[in-house]
Amino acid sequence: MENQAHNVLAMVHLIMLSMWGGVVATEAVIEIYPFRRRELHAATIRFHYWIDLLVELPLVLAVIATGIALLCLTDPVTPLHLVKVGFGGVAVAINLFCIVVVVKRGRRLERGADDGSLWRSSRTVLACFAIGLLCAGGAATLGFRFALERLG
Ligand code: HEM
């Protein structure tokens, strides 16, 4: 029974991760494009603001919830599990920080903030993508290793 719950939760964890990954990849495209077409910057800021609040934030929370539930069902929790949770936790934390930057940037745009500060925030968003991707890669590598062990 516990094994079955673990399998179902792992599947939900993977589905949430895949949806989150797709959203992040799309966001990377809309964030990079204004560096070539500067007139699209304001539109990107507005789109990314709503994508984060309506789509990405719920998905990240679902990844955290399924990850914690999986941790509760994992016995024994090995040091390698903790390394995996560490990578996943840092990736999630960077993403939450990025959402804060995106939301504040969107509000500053509406208040008529100067262009320079908006571009600085956009560069921070790109840095979050790069560092978050490295950590997510570490979590995914270990996660798939656990999945292979589980499935025999
Ligand atoms: C970027 C974020 C993350 C990635 C890429 C990731 C990736 C994965 C993958 C691929 C699996 C294997 C699923 C399966 O067995 O079919 C997994 C399992 C797991 N994840 Fe995550 N995960 C992330 C975030 C988290 C977080 C934040 C936590 C904890 C709070 C967490 C805890 C776990 C646990 C405990 C397992 C089960 C390990 C086992 O079956 O022995 N993950 N993860």
Q: Residues 69-115: pLDDT tens digits?
A: 999 999 999 999 999 999 999 999 999 999 999 999 999 999 999 99
Q: How far is the CA of 139 from the centre of ligand 1 (A)?
A: 7
Q: Give 60's pLDDT tier (boundaries 50, 70, 90).
A: very high
Ligand 1 atom with the smallest distance to the CA of 147 is 15
- Residue 1 is predicted with a pLDDT of 67
CA distance 124 to 77: 35
Question: In the structure encoding, which two tokens stand for residue 95, read together?
Answer: 């993403």
Ligand 1 atom with the smallest distance to the CA of 89 is 27
Structurally, the chain folds into a number of domains equal to 1
Out of 129, 146, 148, 151, mutate this one to test ligand 1's pocket (max ligand atoms within 8 Å of CB): namely 146
Contact by Cβ (8 Å): 59, 20? yes
Contacts of 66 (CB under 8 A, 6+ apart): 9, 12, 13, 16
Nearest to 105 by CA among 115, 96, 91: 115
Q: How far is the CA of 15 from the centre of ligand 1 (A)?
A: 11
* Residue with token string 């719920």: 58
> pLDDT averaged over the chain?
97
2: pLDDT strictly greater than 80: no
Q: What domain range is 114 assigned to? A: 2-151
